Amino acid sequence: MKTNPLLTTENTHRLKAIPFDKIKTEHYLPAFEQVLAETKAAIEKLKKSKAKPTFENTIEAMGVAEEHLDYISGIFFNLLSCESDDEFKALAQKISPMLSQFSSEISTDPVIFEKVKAVYEAEVAGKPAPELPKDLTDKKALQKAERYRIIERSYTGLIRNGALLSDADKKKLTAIDMEMSRLSLDFSNHVLAATNAFIVHITDPKEVEGIPESALNAAAYTAKQKGKDGGWVFTLQPSSLMPVLTYCKNRELRKKLQKAYASRAYKGKFDNQELILKIVQLRYKRARLLGFKNHAEYVLKERMAGSPKAVLDFLDKIYKVAYPAAKAEVKETAAYAKAKDGLAKLMPWDFGYYSNKLKEERYAYDPEQLRPWFKVENVIKGLFKVAKKIYGIDLKRVKDVPVYHKDVQTWEVHDGDNYLGLLYLDLFPRETKRGGAWMTTFQGQGMHSDGMRRPFVSIVGSLTPSTDKHPSLLRLDEARTIFHEFGHALHALLSDCYYKGVSGARVLWDFVELPSQIMENWLLEKEALKLFAKHYETGEVLPDELIDKVLAAKNFQAGIANINQLRYGIVDFAWHNQNPSKIKDVDAFEREVIEPYRLMPAVTGTNMSCSFSHIFAGGYSAGYYSYKWAEALEADAWSYFQEKGIFNRELADSFRKHILARGNSFHPMILFTAFRGRKPDPDALLKRDGLI
């Protein structure tokens, strides 16, 4: 296919941007087949070389051999998450096992391992890791450290993926990897299908009483899009769901939506229970093959935490402080609901409603009041202004870059005269996109076969969309989501590594959320809010009085917020920190695990695990604790900004040079300590949340 845009290396675009406007679904399979064959041939040639193995002719050469395959894989799997129809998803079931098999073959190839081992023994074995240079403009010293890190990671990575196994066990490992790739796709597809399949059409105004006008306008617009004759349509997208759970007086409607959301992919047509049992069993078998006690032990070997015990001790420390606080907060909310409306028993579909009412009474403000000041375009412009004040960077909207969907915007990022990269923004829900929000890269920063390249980064979300009556006006938590994901984007965009293998967000998993979570803090600072929080109709700046109320309520029900996150982390760990072969009933197992963390009565017919895509279809298995782990680091780092000034350029430059620019070229603890001047304060998170 000479016209296949995925196969040509010619790119006349000024930024060498991905030609999304030319790529069609039928291009992928032939491109993968051809590039896989070419990659295998290049690696075969490398294997047959009689030259003494060196970093350049082995590890670098492997990277060059796989570069084209990485390029088309990045495009395909990113679009699988954010713009894929049934044909595209079916194609993934063919392509994913092909790539899994190839990856496993490379990892378990004895010739490749011996060559990498020779490089490891010549340059790394028995030698101390290079220290972080005091002068971070010393490119030679930094490149030397990156080289050491890449060799070490390449060698241990091959071992962790089966290089030392017997031939029989290598075959077992390859079969496991191929099966897991298929099952995780099925899991993700089931969650998306279950989410898309549910709608509620309401025509009686009494049933939607209390829901804000902005949310009703959006629901009416959705009804039109769904071909309904009037009324309102509510879906399980957060932008549709949350206003109902927070404001709707109709308890039955709240119950219907909450139960539907909490039972996605549990039983019925898109049931994920069997997939979960298969996935955890395969992960366990894989870990055992590789010499580990279980999947959690395997994962934690390559994390800051280091061991399952360290994670459980960390979570338990938060639990002991947060759980009593959370129980008291729930008790207070239940008492409030009883006093206000005579509610005998507070249920999950009641909590958001009464919690918000209590918050509104206590702090004399309703979060819904903020929407007019958070028009999405203003939030984005404000975010970029904040980034300019922190790091001195500029973002400029460009319209000559091809996109994969009409809703996607593109922005060039510059630091003075230096081009830093390209940012894609894809912020609104659609049925071809999975739920949630994330940052991803289409092209990593670092040396490529044709020279140094800057990153192509994308932020994907499912925020409140515009309607025919008003523009996109965001909830505060949606604005926080944009700030969060932009923090991840900065990790990639401000990367300053030589080798792309250690650049950007390719860090240990429990460090990856630090740049994103610290970025959220600027959203709730007066100095930052005044840069962009302006009423979408009048241009009025968000009043100090309202800002003060938001800040006063910042730690409202912090105990509950902590326990909710811990619950996810502990369920994840329960699935992966044992032999799962005795688990026969997904729901019974989950209920038993959750019980010590339960704050609300259990609801029959709902299940968390069946839609827990982070751990069963994402990269967070035995790693969901990372959010709290990184939050503890972030709380400590942010206290430094509060001490020195939130727009202190010297401190921001230090964070940029030590954390954002360095990627995975040094262990995260080395980088954090260099920035903070000491190791992290273990109590920083609990202090920040007002729990100690």
- 239 contact partners, CB below 8 Å, separation of at least 6: 218, 429, 462, 463, 464, 465, 478
- pTM value? 0.95
Q: Are 75 and 161 in contact (CB under 8 A)?
A: no
- Per-residue confidence band for 490, with pLDDT thresholds at 50, 70 and 90: very high
The pLDDT tens digits of the residues spanning 402-451 come to 999 999 999 999 999 999 999 999 999 999 999 899 999 999 999 999 99
541: DSSP letter = B
The pLDDT tens digits of the residues spanning 65-121 come to 999 999 999 999 999 999 999 999 999 999 999 999 999 999 999 999 999 999 999
- Residue 495: is its pLDDT beyond 70? yes
What residue has token string 């879906």?
A: 235
The pLDDT tens digits of the residues spanning 532-581 come to 999 999 999 999 999 999 999 999 999 999 999 999 999 999 999 999 99
Report the alpha-carbon distance of residue 415 to residue 393 in Å, rounded: 5
The pLDDT tens digits of the residues spanning 445-470 come to 999 999 999 999 999 999 999 998 89
The pLDDT tens digits of the residues spanning 570-615 come to 999 999 999 999 999 999 999 999 999 999 999 999 999 999 999 9
Catalytic residue among 485, 590, 631, 634: 485
Give yes or no: 485 in active site.
yes
The SS3 of residue 425 is strand
Residue 9 has a pLDDT of 74
Report the alpha-carbon distance of residue 64 to residue 503 in Å, rounded: 16
Instruction: List the domains of the chain with CATH numbers.
Output: 25-192 (1.10.1370.40), 198-262 (no CATH), 372-554 (1.10.1370.40)
Residue 461 has a pLDDT of 97
Kindly report which listed range (11-15, 193-197, 423-427, 598-602) carries the lowest average pLDDT score: 11-15
Overall residue count recorded for the chain in this entry: 692
558 to 71, 355, 477, 565, 596: CA distances (angstroms): 42, 12, 15, 11, 18
Q: Which of 458, 512, 516, 513 is nearest to 485 (CA)?
A: 516
Dihedral sign (CA 428, 433, 437, 443): negative
The chain-wide mean pLDDT, for the chain, equals 96
Residue 689 has a pLDDT of 94
The pLDDT tens digits of the residues spanning 288-336 come to 999 999 999 999 999 999 999 999 999 999 999 999 999 999 999 999 9
Q: Are 455 and 422 in contact (CB under 8 A)?
A: yes
Token reading at 131? 């220290």
- Per-residue confidence band for 10, with pLDDT thresholds at 50, 70 and 90: confident
Residue 3 has a pLDDT of 87
The SS3 of residue 131 is coil
Question: What are the b/e assignments for 485-500, b being 16+ CB within 10 Å?
Answer: bbbbbbbbbbbbbbbb
The SS3 of residue 447 is strand
Dihedral sign (CA 423, 428, 429, 430): negative
Q: Are 437 and 481 in contact (CB under 8 A)?
A: yes
The SS3 of residue 439 is strand
Contacts of 39-47 spanning 24+ positions with Cβ under 8 A: 39/65, 39/66, 39/68, 39/69, 39/102, 40/102, 43/106, 43/112, 46/112, 46/115, 47/109, 47/111, 47/112, 47/115
Report the alpha-carbon distance of residue 26 to residue 291 in Å, rounded: 42
Report the alpha-carbon distance of residue 370 to residue 476 in Å, rounded: 7
Across the range 229-249, mean pLDDT stands at: 96
Report the alpha-carbon distance of residue 587 to residue 360 in Å, rounded: 36
Give me the sheet containing 438-443, strands edge to edge. Answer: 394-398, 409-415, 418-426, 456-460, 438-443
Residue 2 has a pLDDT of 60
**Helix-then-strand count for the chain, H and E:** 25, 9
Q: Are 301 and 570 in contact (CB under 8 A)?
A: no
